[in-house]
Amino acid sequence: MERVIISSCLNNPENIIECESEGLLPKHFGIYANQVIYMGIAYLFGKNMVVDPLAVYNAIKDDKAKKAVDDLGGLEYLMLLQQSPQTQNIKIFIEGVIQAYIRRCILATCEVIKEDMIKNEKDDIDTILGEINQKMNDITLEFVKENEAYKMGDKLSERIQNIMKHPSELPGLSVGWKKFDKVTKGAKAGDLIVVCAESKTGKSVTLLNWAKFIAIDSGLPILWIDTEQDDKEQEMRLLSCVSQIPQDEIEYGLFMEDTAYGKSVDKIRKIKWATNLINSSQFHFVYMPDFTTEKISALTRKFHLKYGIVALFFDYLKLNTVISAKNNNLRSDEKLTFIASALKELGGMLKIPVFTANNENRVNWGSTEKDARSVGGSLGILQLATKLCFLRNKTEEEIAREPGRGNQKFHIAYQRHGQCPVDLDIYFDKIRITQYEIED
């Protein structure tokens, strides 16, 4: 099992992320040389250096460690491991190595108990049982996985001091909409923020504008998982949003000509500026039409560990053939609830907000009143969402009655620990893939 893990990491160093996220440590390897090799791979990967047998071997500087590797064959051993057959499920082998380590610890403890039995013949049985119980409790405390308890008050003074130092800062992430940020107090760790709307209303554009503000305007790392549009489609939309050049002009190359949207020289300059800005950001994008909750979880944990992402964007809540085939005993709405629940649990575990979108129920399409009945597919989403919002186009009458107040309404219908319902006026510029809040 140890050799399979090392072989997998030599062939694909990013497997180190999976190993670390599953709690694998060098001490868990039973063979000292394998501990050394694993540490060498992790060191090189952490420094963004090339990971291959020669680099790993040369990274081992300690004489004792080098000798241990040499005793197994040295560089030839490493090259042999790299050529070994690969596994598609490294997690099984990680669990096996950790389990083997725990068994060795138990065995070693039993050996100590055995020696104590022989040496301490005069001790009374209660003392002996107490010592045995303590040793076993130590093993339990180290290895049994459970939610870590927090004693209320331990960090309270520190948190109050931090608030006093930064009184104007939002408790959560800003999405760039001032009233939304003020009313919701920002996107906080563990939040599941759902934008619900009719098809083609712009709910994905809402998420994209928020993601653009966090990743590009604020310079923070995020992960975007898309179930419908690939990287080329979304990249063009993002470029339009950042550069404020119409998406059609970008896709057809019309930005190189003078048009009603500006002179070519100015548009080319904006395109170059926006391209550099996007390229220097940490806006990580993955196209995943065949998503499963397991894939989403593994990928998000990987990017959280490697890049420190501060938010996950999942576009959007729906069923696909893979999800539909699973849990056939569940109704469609229950399956949607299952996906939403997995996203919320993931955000809570990683302490990041999760942004997602959901289609609105067809029975309520066209209505200007949005409530629980409008949530598409599942009322379970209403129960799970910490912030549930509705986006709709304004009627012609509303636009005429409120000139200059945008062409959409953003309705914060439900939220925990915050004011609701609250309406925001939004202007949606479809040509430039931009939405912005109309300030009061």
Q: Domain containing 313 — which CATH number?
A: 3.40.50.300
431 and 318 part of one domain:
yes
* Confidence at residue 137, expressed as pLDDT on a 0 to 100 scale: 72
Angle 323-329-334 from CA coordinates, rounded to 5°: 60
pLDDT, one tens digit per residue, over 276-304 is 999 999 999 999 998 888 889 888 988 88
* Domain boundary, last residue among 91, 126, 144: 144
Mean of pLDDT values over 135-142:
71
Quick check: is 382 in a domain? yes
CA 195 to CA 359: how far, in whole Å?
A: 9
| Angle formed by the axes of helices 231-243 and 264-279, nearest 10° | 120
3-class SS letters over 339-368: HHHHHHHHHHHHCCCEEEEEEECHHHCCCC
Whether residues 139 and 183 share a domain: the answer is no
| Same-domain check for residues 195 and 339 | yes
- Count of structural domains within the chain: 2
Whole-angstrom distance, CA of residue 345 vs CA of residue 296: 12
pLDDT-based confidence at 232, cuts 50/70/90?
very high
Cα dihedral sign, 393-394-395-399: negative
Average pLDDT taken over every residue of the chain? 88
Residues 202, 395: contact at Cβ < 8 Å?
no
* Eight-state DSSP code of residue 427: E
Q: Quick one: residue 411, left, alpha or beta (phi over 0 = left, psi -120 to 50 = alpha)?
A: beta
Count of residues for the chain? Answer: 440
Distance CA 52, CA 103 (A): 32
CA–CA gap between residue 392 and residue 368 (Å, rounded): 8
CATH of residue 43: 1.10.860.10
Q: Which residue has the higher pLDDT, 142 or 239?
A: 239
Total-model pTM: 0.73
**Distance, CA of 338 to CA of 439 (rounded, Å):** 37
Which neighbouring-strand residues pair with 357?
195
pLDDT > 70? residue 167: yes
pLDDT tens digits, 66-110 = 999 999 999 999 999 888 877 778 889 999 999 999 899 889 888
| 115 and 189 together in one domain | no
User: Can you tell me the mean pLDDT for 181-193?
Assistant: 94
DSSP state letter for 287: E
Token pair 């849990």 in the structure block, residue: 327
Q: Do 265 and 332 belong together in one domain?
A: yes
> Under 8 Å CB-to-CB from 94, ≥6 apart: which residues?
5, 18, 19, 22, 24
Q: How far is CA 224 from the centre of its chain?
A: 9
> Residue 226 forms beta bridges with which residues?
287, 315
Tell me how far apart the terminal alpha carbons of the chain are, to the nearest angstrom.
Answer: 63
